[in-house]
Amino acid sequence: MDASRFLDGSMAADVGFDPLGFADSNENLNKYREAELRHGRLAMLAAAGWPLSELFDVKIAKMMDMDPVIFAENGFRAPSVLNGGLGLISPLYWVGCLAFAGIFEAISISSPQFNEGIYPKSVSNKDQRWIQTAEIKNGRLAMLAITAFAAQEFVSHIAVVDQVPFFFKPI
């Protein structure tokens, strides 16, 4: 299968892999790269946040005199669609999340200038390229990790932090 003519190696982490031919224009390729960066960055936060929430949510909620979002009803697992935990969180919270996301997307659509990130100016172009490639690859790995967390908890009904306690012993 031929590589897309738009995947010419000019973007970080571009190895010419597009077996389904999605990169049929520079405009589409840039949209896909933007989506990959956004989802990768969010997944990197989630890959760290998921186990941290399972470890510290109840403790932090008690310190702040709030109700925890991790409940005994779902086995003290991070709330997800697969374990039914999302239904235990107040609908008002979800309305707020939707409103915030809607405002953010409205701003993004009205100003389509996508910023690939702020990288240190003191490093060479070669090093900046390496940093950008590392961000893309770590984002891809984090997207796989979050999928694996969800699948593990769905199949085993055991929290991620309890499945591998040697990684997640509370401090």
| Separation between Cα atoms, residue 91 and residue 113, nearest integer Å | 33
**Lowest model confidence (mean pLDDT) among 50-59, 65-74, 120-129:** 65-74
Q: Is 5 annotated as a binding residue?
A: no
| Separation between Cα atoms, residue 137 and residue 128, nearest integer Å | 14
Residue 9 pLDDT more than 80? Answer: no
Residue 102: how many other CB atoms lie within 10 Å? 10
pLDDT for the residue 61: 83
pLDDT for the residue 1: 54
Q: Is 138 annotated as a binding residue?
A: yes
Residues 78 and 85: beta-carbon distance below 8 Å: yes
Q: Tens of pLDDT along 89-121?
A: 788 988 999 999 899 888 877 665 666 666 677
CA-nearest of 55, 61, 63, 6 to 33 is 6
Q: If you average pLDDT over each of 65-69, 120-124, 129-133, 138-142, which comes out highest?
A: 138-142
Q: Is 27 annotated as a binding residue?
A: no
Q: Is 41 annotated as a binding residue?
A: yes
Q: Is 33 annotated as a binding residue?
A: no
